[in-house]
């Protein structure tokens, strides 16, 4: 195979700025069933979409639906601090209107347009979101509390996770809630709020997601790597070495996507590199 036909070991895109394809704090990421990368571009107050080759596809403002009727101009924008995607392919974003925040907004977007919103009456600096594929619940991490809602915004339940603020949140195949905070461990709760597992990472865990086989993928900020654990918290392997791993996601074909909010870049590690080559 000629060198120009060899697939790269990683694809890096982005850079600091406000132009399409650039970022100002890419603190949330998700990958759709169509293998499109969705990035929460916090301080540009927008969501951007890319191909799995890192090609810019489109963007849309992180608008709050219905607020134009109040302001008389355009819909108000929020700072989207995290994103996820539901089974219908809709993008869900969580964010705040200002820093510091007196409340959290959750918005559902369809084809880049805001179609539904509900408020979470909690103060949180960088709230996080996960959509539970099993139940359809919208799960919000705000400060040190996990709150669950139905897709129509009706409140379901909540539980406290302690004194440490939630860094990132996701769910596993059983609907359990997996979270990181300022500690060195990853914590797993059932949906009743009972902690069922804590496992150490020996680093500083930040971004967290799950893969199709039930593995838990954790970004370790302190050691500059992304690591793979079993659902029982047993270390499996290092998937990637990367500076400042922030938000992470795994696509339907196993490609690993990692944001770096410090340098405003996103890195794609193809499945063969992240999970298959070692």
Q: pLDDT per residue over 192-232, tens digit each? A: 999 999 999 989 999 999 998 899 999 999 999 999 999 99
Q: Beta strand 138-142 with 248-250: parallel, antiparallel or unpaired? A: unpaired
pTM here? 0.93
Using 50, 70 and 90 to split pLDDT, how confident is the model at 72?
Answer: low
**Residue 190 scores a pLDDT above 70:** yes
Query: What is the mean pLDDT of the segment spanning 7-32?
Result: 96
Residue 39 forms beta bridges with which residues?
29, 48
Q: Give pLDDT, residue 2.
A: 44
Q: Give pLDDT, residue 25.
A: 98
Please name the residue that has the structure tokens 């949140």. 169
**Residue 173 scores a pLDDT above 80:** yes
Task: Check whether the bond before 100 is cis (ω within 30° of 0).
Answer: yes
Q: pLDDT per residue over 78-104, tens digit each? A: 999 999 999 999 999 999 999 887 789
Q: What percent of the chain has pLDDT over 90?
A: 84
Q: pLDDT per residue over 42-55, tens digit each? A: 999 999 999 999 99
| CB proximity list for 73: less than 8 A, separation 6 or greater | none
What is the torsion angle, in degrees rounded to the nearest 10, for the CA atoms of residue 181, residue 96, residue 268 and residue 132? 70
Q: Give pLDDT, residue 262.
A: 96
Using 50, 70 and 90 to split pLDDT, how confident is the model at 274?
Answer: confident
**Residue 3 scores a pLDDT above 70:** no
CATH class of 23-274: mainly beta
Using alpha carbons, select from 33, 85, 76, 36 the residue that is nearest to residue 59. 36
- Low-confidence winner among 4-13, 50-59, 154-163, 233-242 (lowest mean pLDDT): 4-13
**Residue 180 scores a pLDDT above 70:** yes
Give burial (CB, 10 Å; 0-12/13-18/19+) of 33.
exposed
- Distance between CA 171 and CA 264 in Å, rounded? 26
Distances (CA, A) of 256 to 21, 146, 264, 266, 270: 19, 26, 17, 10, 6
**Residue 119 scores a pLDDT above 90:** yes
Query: What is the mean pLDDT of the segment spanning 252-262?
Result: 97
Residue extents of the structural domains in the chain:
23-274
């Amino acid at each position: 195979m000629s060198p120009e036909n060899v697939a790269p070991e990683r694809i890096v895109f982005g850079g600091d700025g406000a132009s399409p394809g650039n970022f100002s704090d890419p603190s949330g990421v998700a990958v759709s069933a169509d293998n499109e990368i969705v990035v929460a571009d916090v301080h540009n107050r927008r969501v951007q979409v890319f191909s799995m080759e890192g090609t810019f596809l489109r963007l849309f403002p992180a608008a709050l639906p219905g607020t134009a009727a109040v302001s008389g101009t355009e819909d108000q924008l929020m700072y989207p601090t995290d994103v996820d995607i539901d089974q219908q392919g809709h993008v869900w974003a969580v964010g705040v209107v200002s820093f510091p925040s007196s409340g959290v907004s959750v918005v559902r977007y369809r084809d880049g347009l805001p179609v539904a919103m509900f408020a979470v009456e909690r103060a949180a600096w960088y709230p996080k979101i996960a959509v539970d594929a099993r139940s359809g619940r919208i799960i919000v991490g705000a400060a040190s509390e996990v709150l669950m809602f139905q897709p129509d915004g009706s409140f379901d339940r909540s539980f406290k996770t302690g004194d440490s603020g939630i860094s990132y949140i996701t769910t596993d195949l059983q609907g359990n809630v997996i979270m990181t905070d300022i500690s060195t461990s990853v914590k797993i709760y059932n949906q009743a709020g009972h902690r069922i597992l804590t496992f150490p990472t020996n680093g500083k865990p930040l971004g967290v997601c799950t893969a199709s086989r039930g593995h838990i993928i954790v970004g370790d900020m302190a050691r500059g790597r992304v690591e793979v654990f079993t659902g029982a918290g047993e270390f499996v392997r290092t998937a990637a070495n990367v500076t400042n791993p922030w938000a992470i996601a795994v696509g339907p074909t196993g490609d690993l996507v990692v944001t770096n909010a410090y340098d405003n870049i996103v890195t794609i590690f193809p499945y063969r590199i992240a999970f298959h080559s070692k």
